[in-house]
Amino acid sequence: MEPIDTETLELGKSVPALEGVFEVETLAGKVRVQPVFELLKASLEAYTPEKAATLCGVSADLIRKLARMIAKAKAASNVATLGVGKYYHGDLMMRAQILVFTLAGHIGGKGTGYCSAGGLLADGQSPVILEGSHLSKEVLWAFAKERGLQLAKGYLTGKDTRRSLQRAIADGWTKAKVFSNSTLFWDIHGGILDVSARPCDPTLKRDVRAYVRESLSKNWQLVEPPASKQPKVLFSFAGNALRRVRAGNRLREVLWPKLDLVVVLDVRMSSTAQYADYILPVAGAYEKPNVVMNSSANVPFIHATAKAVANVGESKDEWEIACLIAKKVQERARAAGTGAFVGRRGHARNLDDAYDVLTRNGTFSDRDAEQLSQVLVESSSNLGDAKWADLKENGFARYSNVGKFPLSWGQASEIAPGETIAPYTWHTEKKEPWPTLSGRMQFYIDHDWYLEMGEALPTHKDAPKAGGNYPLTMGGGHTRWSIHCSPA
């Protein structure tokens, strides 16, 4: 047994064992261990094509044919996007699919791969949005104190610091409180947990509430405000909670009575807007200039729209609405002499400069969303020499590299002009370590919960029954606007 360097993919003189059972000496004495591949083989013995056919309804012959096609193909790929993940046990399905492509060697090459929801973002939004904000100063200062020395050492020694930075962001994500888990917010403050905790899934070993409590107590997840505090104001933007959230009727019963104010920004009279104190009409897609800053490797383009028609009624673009609210907050705070308050991180925050901070003291016009779009585009390092004027005319521009935004590093590849993008070539060709604990691709998850539920490796689990003997196979929720009707 030899330890493997987790900072590289080099094996040295070691020859990894894929099969067998071994004894190793530990602080607690000798223990028997075996490679994950050995465990995987044992777990798959129950899933013969005939057994799989009874589970999925596809014939055993067709399963064998597909398996051989994937195994013999020079390149195979799959685009799952955000669909499978919304099935109950969708994570197990996707883990199994990714395992197939990996075992067949279809990761990190041209025409290969498994795409779920990889991000590719224009990095101009980072300095523009965060520059000068209280959030960035607090988070970055704390980050520098904890990780600065490690990252500086890597930089001075010429090592690629991207993996260290990715790990640092992941490790400090909940502590930073940059984002809160919306699902947990609805669960805890909206009463959804009372519905989801009903005993419908026989594979769960404990009440759902027990898992939630443990997750929050160990800082694995974050909910803001914490369960001990009541939310008072809800701003709904680019969402429709009373339509999108499963069992959304519970939000009206549990969350709404807690709120002093509900403000909805929307392009139409949505379900949530019907129960709002204020509705701020948002301009439609062709009533404002806009730029879509995020994409993916299979569609590696930034897209833009120009204002084509006049605004309907009193609708405004989101930037102007945000500026008008900030301006009024600043005005009222100064008039009342109410400046500083203690924010959720315990730091002093100010209301009397809200508008100045948002507009960078007038650097950005509060009425010109096109100016903001131009700065976002032309400040980006990964859009080549794209200019807003050209983008507005052509409608799109191609990404030139993954950029400086950490979320885009998940693509882990170079972007060459005129060529398709093959994610993960940093790992498969340049042999850079993966952003995992071991520095390698991992399929065995030895987290206590996964071990408890028998999901350390991908496995099959039947969908729980809903409303009688009916398997719950899919839970939607992404739809923002739709109408349900029943026959008269």
- Condensed to tens digits (0 to 9), the pLDDT of residues 318-327 reads 999 999 999 9
Q: What does the pLDDT look like over 337-350, one tens digit per residue?
A: 987 888 776 777 88
Q: What is the Cα–Cα distance from 52 to 166, expressed in whole angstroms? A: 38
Residue with more model confidence, 134 or 217: 217
Which spans in 350-408 are helix H?
Answer: 354-358, 369-378, 388-394
Q: What is the Cα–Cα distance from 325 to 235, expressed in whole angstroms? A: 12
The per-residue pLDDT for 49 is: 96
The per-residue pLDDT for 487 is: 45
Does residue 289 carry a pLDDT above 80?
A: yes
Average pLDDT, the chain: 86
The per-residue pLDDT for 296 is: 77
The per-residue pLDDT for 146 is: 64
- The phi, psi pair for 331, rounded to 5°, reads -60, -45
The per-residue pLDDT for 475 is: 64
Does residue 140 carry a pLDDT above 80?
A: no
Of the pLDDT bands very low, low, confident and very high (cuts 50, 70, 90), residue 97 is very high
User: What integer is the mean pLDDT of 26-48?
Assistant: 93
Residues, the chain: 488
Residue 54 in domain = yes
Q: What is the Cα–Cα distance from 168 to 454, expressed in whole angstroms? A: 29
Does residue 151 carry a pLDDT above 70?
A: no
The per-residue pLDDT for 428 is: 92
Q: What does the pLDDT look like over 53-75, one tens digit per residue?
A: 999 999 999 999 999 999 999 99
Does residue 382 carry a pLDDT above 70?
A: yes
Residue 282 in domain = no
Residue 48 in domain = yes
Residue 238 in domain = no
Residue 140 in domain = no
Does residue 161 carry a pLDDT above 50?
A: yes
Does residue 134 carry a pLDDT above 60?
A: no
The per-residue pLDDT for 488 is: 43
Q: Where are the beta strands (DSSP E) in 153-214?
A: none
User: What integer is the mean pLDDT of 255-281?
Assistant: 95
Does residue 107 carry a pLDDT above 70?
A: yes
What is the CA angle 336-338-344, rounded to 5? 150
Of all residues in the chain, what percent carry a pLDDT higher than 70?
A: 90
Of all residues in the chain, what percent carry a pLDDT higher than 90?
A: 48
pTM recorded for the entire structure: 0.86
CA distances, 348 to each of 226, 228, 257 (Å): 19, 21, 29
> How many C-beta neighbours within 10 Å does residue 475 have?
11
Does residue 141 carry a pLDDT above 80?
A: no
Of the pLDDT bands very low, low, confident and very high (cuts 50, 70, 90), residue 486 is very low
Does residue 86 carry a pLDDT above 90?
A: no
User: What integer is the mean pLDDT of 26-50?
Assistant: 93
Q: Compute, in degrees rounded to 10, the torsion defined by CA atoms 65, 71, 73, 77.
A: 90
Q: What does the pLDDT look like over 109-119, one tens digit per residue?
A: 999 988 877 78
Of the pLDDT bands very low, low, confident and very high (cuts 50, 70, 90), residue 48 is very high
**Taking a C-beta distance cutoff of 8 angstroms, is the pair 250, 192 a contact?**
yes
Q: What does the pLDDT look like over 195-223, one tens digit per residue?
A: 888 877 888 899 999 999 999 999 889 89
The per-residue pLDDT for 170 is: 76
Q: What does the pLDDT look like over 168-177, one tens digit per residue?
A: 777 777 776 7
Q: What does the pLDDT look like over 234-249, one tens digit per residue?
A: 999 888 999 888 888 9
Q: What does the pLDDT look like over 388-419, one tens digit per residue?
A: 999 988 999 999 999 988 888 888 999 998 88
Per the structure block, which two tokens stand in for 116?
């779920």
Q: How many distinct structural domains can be found in the chain?
A: 1
Residue with more model confidence, 93 or 138: 93
Q: Of 244, 258, 245, 250, nearest to 195 (Cα)?
A: 250
Residue with more model confidence, 70 or 367: 70
Residue 431 in domain = yes
- The phi, psi pair for 429, rounded to 5°, reads -105, -45
Q: What is the Cα–Cα distance from 287 to 269, expressed in whole angstroms? A: 17
User: What integer is the mean pLDDT of 360-370?
Assistant: 87
Domain extent at residue 447 = 1-118+423-479
The per-residue pLDDT for 124 is: 85
